[in-house]
Amino acid sequence: MKIYKCDASGLIPSQSQLLTSGGGGDQPICANSLTAETPYGLRLTDSACLDPLTCFHVQPGPITTEQIQAVRSRYGREDDVFCDTFLKNILLVTDEQSLSDSVLNLLTSWGVVFVFIVPTHCEVAPGPYYFSRRGIFWAWKLFPDYQEAFVLSTIPSQQEYNMLGPKTTLGRTNFDRWQTPELPLAGMRIAIKDLFHLNGVHTGCGNRAYLRLHPASKTTSPAVQAVISKGAIVVGKTKTVEFGGSQEVVGDWVDYSYAFNARGDGYLASTGSSTGSASSLAAYPWLDITLGTDGAVIPCSRLHPTRILLPLEYYADRNDVQILAESWISALFKWLGAEIARISIAQFRKDYREAYGSAPYILPRDKGKLVPPSRKTEALGEVGLHNEWFSKHLLKDENAIMIIPRYKLDYRDEYLPPPECREFYGFDSNLHASFAGLPNIIVPSETLDVIDRVLGR
């Protein structure tokens, strides 16, 4: 076996410094001692071609075959990006300056071509990489979006994010997770709802016309920036109903397809404006966190409201009602630490017409205009009566909570009347908190067997 040591003037193996080892095997292995401040500062080759590489971390002291084998087994078991292809070249993080013949023989049996040795102060994270003369780079894996939950996938560059197409999403190695108090989310994969801005990426708000009108965002929403600053990596944008509205069944989805719900037989409805975020998180074990927006706090399903959208067109037509709403929203904003965004759908319509000479296509959202003023007044009175009864006679004080069991077995293929013809009168147990302006926490607790409509069992 031949072992090459690094040239003193650089970090590229040089045959002029040939060392001899007594180990057997036909395939040469190069062991090179390197120093660098960051992993991306390492220059291991003068080739422009990318070559696979795996970084191994071992315990202090002489390196044994048992240690090396244990690291390989752990990578194969815990990292969904690593595969044996990355064993062609190995980067050993150790302060040891030599390898035993038994270790070299083991690496040769794996098909290893080069071994690079770097001291521990370089702090190169473990896991799979690619390297060329430009440095070493994280390996990314393509994950299929079989639930159709994503609008697009993203990959970070130095200053912004770059957009990739739909249907697949990129994920970086699980071992890029050196969490610290300053970076508690280091390396975690996160997807964000398409209502959030991400620098370098278009914000579509679930509407193709809106996406077409606006260029890629030059800013990142504060809520998203907060998780990026904590070390998270945004892997893509998830689908949302149009402008965070109320598309309920598959027939309501016009610009994008309705995300699939992984629960049950796979055909249950995934209704909600954060449907893409919820569907992807429920289905994909490689995804750690998703960001959505909501009027309720849903911590146990790993969704948390981070943005509050306030369309100007949806403001209450009574000043006292709007003041009450603003007070409640202000309290919610402080409690959640969420971002408040006041938007105008009408301004978007105007800008789109000026840019393209036609109106944008938007689902009908004029249901409120069909309700006569007398019925609105009557409904507001009913809400006030409910709130007085609910607060004074049911909850009574701030120390009480109400628990209401709820479940949903709606299917994605159900048909409803057109949105403008749907009846929204009536009451639902979920409306107590909405009417009274109280926090509403949804906690998934148990699962029950039901007769499946699709499977018939």
Summarize pLDDT for 30-73 with one digit per residue, the tens. 444 443 333 456 777 888 888 999 999 888 888 899 999 999 99
Report how far residue 430's alpha carbon sits from residue 416's, in angstroms, rounded to the nearest whole number. Answer: 21
Q: Between these two residues, 453 and 141, which has the higher pLDDT value?
A: 141
Q: What is the predicted pLDDT for the residue at 220? A: 92
Across the range 386-390, mean pLDDT stands at 79
At 72, list the tokens.
């390989």
Across the range 420-438, mean pLDDT stands at 67
Final residue belonging to a domain, choices 112, 138, 164? 138
Report how far residue 329's alpha carbon sits from residue 308's, in angstroms, rounded to the nearest whole number. Answer: 8
Are the beta carbons of 166 and 150 closer than 8 angstroms? yes
**Predicted TM-score (pTM) of this structure:** 0.68
Report how far residue 290's alpha carbon sits from residue 193's, in angstroms, rounded to the nearest whole number. Answer: 8
The region of weakest confidence among 75-84, 128-137, 355-364 is 355-364
Q: What is the predicted pLDDT for the residue at 280? A: 92
Quick one: which H or E segment has residue 308? strand 307-311
If DSSP states are collapsed to H, E and C, what string results for 136-188? EEECEEEEECCCCCEEEEEEECCCCEEEECCCEEEEECCCCCCCCCCCCCCCC
Residue type, 68: I
Q: What is the predicted pLDDT for the residue at 22? A: 30
> Same structural domain for residues 132 and 147?
no
The region of weakest confidence among 121-125, 284-288, 338-342, 383-387 is 338-342
Share of the chain above pLDDT 90, in %: 20
Quick one: which H or E segment has residue 226? helix 222-229
Report how far residue 36's alpha carbon sits from residue 91's, in angstroms, rounded to the nearest whole number. Answer: 13
pLDDT band at 237 (very low <50, low <70, confident <90, very high): very high
Tell me whether residue 306 is in a domain: yes
pLDDT band at 446 (very low <50, low <70, confident <90, very high): low
Using CB atoms within 10 A of its CB, is residue 238 exposed (0-12), middle (13-18) or buried (19+)? buried
| Residue 301 in this model has a pLDDT that exceeds 60 | no
Are the beta carbons of 58 and 67 closer than 8 angstroms? yes
> Same structural domain for residues 229 and 98?
no
Q: What is the predicted pLDDT for the residue at 1? A: 32
Final residue belonging to a domain, choices 116, 138, 160? 138
> Same structural domain for residues 186 and 309?
yes
Map tokens 């067109």 to a residue: 313
Q: What is the predicted pLDDT for the residue at 322? A: 66
Name the pairing type of β-strands 89-93 and 51-57.
parallel
pLDDT band at 26 (very low <50, low <70, confident <90, very high): very low
Tell me whether residue 286 is in a domain: yes
Across the range 143-148, mean pLDDT stands at 91
At 352, list the tokens.
């789109």
Report how far residue 43's alpha carbon sits from residue 133's, in angstroms, rounded to the nearest whole number. Answer: 6
Name the pairing type of β-strands 150-156 and 233-238.
antiparallel
Tell me whether residue 455 is in a domain: no
> Same structural domain for residues 148 and 119?
no
The region of weakest confidence among 142-146, 238-242, 246-250, 395-399 is 395-399
> Same structural domain for residues 81 and 159?
no
> Same structural domain for residues 215 and 316?
yes
Cα-Cα-Cα-Cα torsion 313, 317, 321, 326, nearest 10 degrees, comes to 30
**3-class DSSP state for residue 131?**
strand
pLDDT band at 296 (very low <50, low <70, confident <90, very high): very low
> Same structural domain for residues 199 and 230?
yes
> Same structural domain for residues 168 and 263?
yes
Across the range 277-301, mean pLDDT stands at 75
Tell me whether residue 445 is in a domain: no
| Residue 7 in this model has a pLDDT that exceeds 90 | no
Average pLDDT, the chain: 75
The region of weakest confidence among 114-128, 258-272, 292-306, 310-324 is 292-306
Across the range 302-316, mean pLDDT stands at 58
Q: What is the predicted pLDDT for the residue at 302? A: 40
> Same structural domain for residues 78 and 105?
yes
> Same structural domain for residues 98 and 203?
no
> Same structural domain for residues 248 and 333?
yes
Tell me whether residue 384 is in a domain: no
Q: Provide the angle, in degrees to the nearest 10, between the axes of the packed helices 65-78 and 101-109.
A: 30
Phi-psi map region of 233: left, alpha, beta (phi>0 left; psi -120 to 50 alpha):
beta
Are the beta carbons of 206 and 239 closer than 8 angstroms? yes
Q: What is the predicted pLDDT for the residue at 150? A: 94
In 3D space, the residue among 372, 177, 204 whose CA is nearest the CA of residue 276 turns out to be: 204
**Domain membership of residue 280 as a residue range:** 142-377+390-417+424-436
Q: How many domains does the chain have?
A: 2
At 371, list the tokens.
């309700």
Residues written for the chain: 457
Report how far residue 54's alpha carbon sits from residue 89's, in angstroms, rounded to the nearest whole number. Answer: 6
pLDDT band at 18 (very low <50, low <70, confident <90, very high): very low
Tell me whether residue 385 is in a domain: no
Using CB atoms within 10 A of its CB, is residue 89 exposed (0-12), middle (13-18) or buried (19+)? buried
Report how far residue 364's alpha carbon sits from residue 375's, in angstroms, rounded to the nearest whole number. Answer: 21
Final residue belonging to a domain, choices 109, 138, 167? 138
The region of weakest confidence among 13-22, 146-155, 397-406 is 13-22
Q: Between these two residues, 294 and 266, which has the higher pLDDT value?
A: 266
In 3D space, the residue among 292, 287, 182, 179 whose CA is nearest the CA of residue 234 turns out to be: 287
| Residue 215 in this model has a pLDDT that exceeds 80 | yes
Across the range 225-248, mean pLDDT stands at 87
Are the beta carbons of 155 and 149 closer than 8 angstroms? no
> Same structural domain for residues 146 and 131?
no
Across the range 131-153, mean pLDDT stands at 88
Cα-flanking dihedrals φ and ψ of residue 309, to 5°?
A: -90, 130
Across the range 336-357, mean pLDDT stands at 74
Across the range 296-316, mean pLDDT stands at 52
Using CB atoms within 10 A of its CB, is residue 115 exposed (0-12), middle (13-18) or buried (19+)? buried
| Residue 85 in this model has a pLDDT that exceeds 80 | yes
Are the beta carbons of 286 and 427 closer than 8 angstroms? no
Report how far residue 390's alpha carbon sits from residue 27's, in angstroms, rounded to the nearest whole number. Answer: 78
Across the range 332-337, mean pLDDT stands at 72
Report how far residue 123's alpha carbon sits from residue 113's, in angstroms, rounded to the nearest whole number. Answer: 23
Top mean-pLDDT range of 35-39, 153-157, 212-216: 212-216
